């Protein structure tokens, strides 16, 4: 019976990850072990549970029928474990968290430090990257993402928003013609952030809108590099307020067209569906949500 329950749990992880290799990485075992347990379960039930291809697997009709009770079984076990963790003297465990590089200059880092101090038995592993990694494939418990999230089946909670400013280095601005309207940017150099797929649109305080476009001087896939290149005078860029606040105060960067405003970027927590309400993951999300809500209130 124990072997069957173990095989059902592994089967559910394969369905979640979409591949034996992905499930193996999630479970911390070899792909051959995962394949063995799924094959044993299929033999025991007398029916195939997956259609297999070289890169991924998809559920058969019988597999779809089994997935619901298998998922419920895992959720019940996680709830019981989480209840124990919740009522223990101190929560213990490890959380792997991914964040965009730009948040190294955001107050969220202070809140993560506060969480670590408040819960010293929870080990945080923080990965800063502007590449949106797959949570399950990368072994992540939580991702903090900036910008719009489309078509995700993962759990999501918006924590706060971050304003963006159009900026350029002081010396670069002095070298250009006077900037009056967004259309004037067509002759300016632009530092392009390659993960951004949609065009930059600004809205004037009177309600008018305009698309911002310049000559792409350089494209970069990392926000920290984008910030550094803008400071170096390569051209103008759209950067989060937290990243440019200090340079705007010193005058190293200039806020361009302040009456034309870019849409703020949502900062969203994203996590897998196998996380229960009382897990370490949701404990961290609740902590950040509370702290960032307080920060937003004090800013307002």
- For position 21, which CATH number holds? 1.10.10.10
Q: Tell me what pLDDT residue 300 has.
A: 52
Q: Per-residue pLDDT tens for 69-122? A: 888 887 777 666 655 555 555 788 899 999 999 899 899 999 999 999 999 999
Question: CA 47, CA 12: separation in Å to the nearest integer?
Answer: 16
Q: Tell me what pLDDT residue 276 has.
A: 56
Q: Tell me what pLDDT residue 105 has.
A: 86
**Domain ends where: 39, 65, 87?**
87
Over pLDDT 70: what percentage of the chain?
89
Question: CA 66, CA 210: separation in Å to the nearest integer?
Answer: 52
CATH number, domain with residue 103: 3.40.190.10
**Whether residues 143 and 199 fall in one domain:** no
Q: Per-residue pLDDT tens for 158-188? A: 999 999 999 999 999 999 988 999 999 999 9
Question: CA 6, CA 50: separation in Å to the nearest integer?
Answer: 17
3-state SS, one letter per residue, for 251-273? CCEEECCCCEEECCEEEEEEECC
**Whether residues 193 and 210 fall in one domain:** yes
- Residue 30: its H or E element: none
**Domain ends where: 72, 87, 102?**
87
**Whether residues 64 and 106 fall in one domain:** no
Average of per-residue pLDDT across 146-158: 80
Structural domain containing residue 39: 2-87
Q: Tell me what pLDDT residue 237 has.
A: 96
Please list, in sequence order, all residues whose beta carbon lies within 8 angstroms of the beta carbon of residue 42, skipping any fewer than 6 positions away. Answer: 48, 49
- The count of structural domains within the chain is 3
Question: CA 249, CA 155: separation in Å to the nearest integer?
Answer: 38
**Whether residues 142 and 278 fall in one domain:** yes
Q: Per-residue pLDDT tens for 116-131? A: 999 999 999 999 998 8
Q: Tell me what pLDDT residue 227 has.
A: 96
Helical residues (DSSP H) of the chain, grouped into ranges: 2-17, 20-27, 31-45, 61-87, 108-118, 170-174, 223-231, 241-250, 280-299
- What would the two tokens of residue 271 be? 């996590």
**Whether residues 294 and 238 fall in one domain:** no
Q: Tell me what pLDDT residue 256 has.
A: 97
**Whether residues 191 and 56 fall in one domain:** no
From residue 271, give the alpha-carbon distance in Å to each of 140, 213, 277, 292, 298.
8, 35, 12, 18, 28
**Whether residues 168 and 257 fall in one domain:** yes
**Domain ends where: 66, 87, 108?**
87
Of 95, 65, 52, 116, nearest in space to 271 by CA: 95
**Whether residues 25 and 41 fall in one domain:** yes
Please list, in sequence order, all residues whose beta carbon lies within 8 angstroms of the beta carbon of residue 67, skipping any fewer than 6 positions away. Answer: 11, 12, 15, 59
Q: Per-residue pLDDT tens for 183-215? A: 999 999 999 998 877 788 999 999 899 999 889
- The single-letter DSSP state of residue 123 is E
């Amino acid at each position: 019976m124990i072997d069957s329950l173990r095989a059902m749990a592994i089967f559910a992880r394969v369905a979640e990850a979409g591949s034996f290799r992905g499930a193996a990485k999630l479970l911390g075992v070899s792909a051959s072990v995962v394949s063995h347990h799924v094959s044993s379960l299929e033999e025991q039930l007398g029916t195939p549970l997956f259609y297999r291809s070289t890169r991924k697997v998809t559920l058969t009709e019988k597999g779809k029928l089994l997935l619901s009770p298998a998922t419920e079984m895992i959720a019940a076990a996680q709830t019981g474990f989480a209840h124990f963790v919740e009522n223990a003297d101190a929560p213990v465990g490890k959380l792997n968290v991914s964040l965009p590089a730009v948040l190294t200059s955001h107050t969220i880092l202070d809140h993560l430090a506060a969480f670590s101090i408040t819960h010293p038995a929870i080990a945080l592993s923080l990965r800063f990257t502007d590449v949106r990694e797959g949570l399950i494939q990368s072994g992540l418990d939580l991702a903090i993402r900036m910008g719009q999230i489309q078509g995700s089946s993962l759990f999501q909670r918006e924590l706060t928003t971050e304003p963006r400013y159009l900026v350029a280095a002081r010396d670069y601005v002095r070298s250009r013609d006077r900037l009056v309207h967004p259309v004037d940017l067509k002759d300016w150099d632009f530092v392009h952030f390659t993960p951004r797929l949609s065009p930059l649109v600004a809205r004037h305080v009177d309600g008018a809108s305009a698309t911002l476009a310049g000559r792409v001087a350089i494209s970069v896939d990392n926000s920290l590099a984008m910030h550094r290149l803008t400071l170096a005078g390569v051209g103008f860029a759209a950067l989060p307020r937290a990243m440019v606040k200090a340079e705007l105060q010193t005058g190293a960067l200039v806020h361009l067209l302040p009456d034309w405003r870019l849409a703020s970027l949502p900062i969203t927590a994203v996590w897998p569906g196998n996380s229960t309400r009382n897990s370490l993951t949701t404990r961290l999300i609740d902590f950040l949500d509370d702290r960032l809500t307080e920060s937003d209130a004090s800013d307002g």
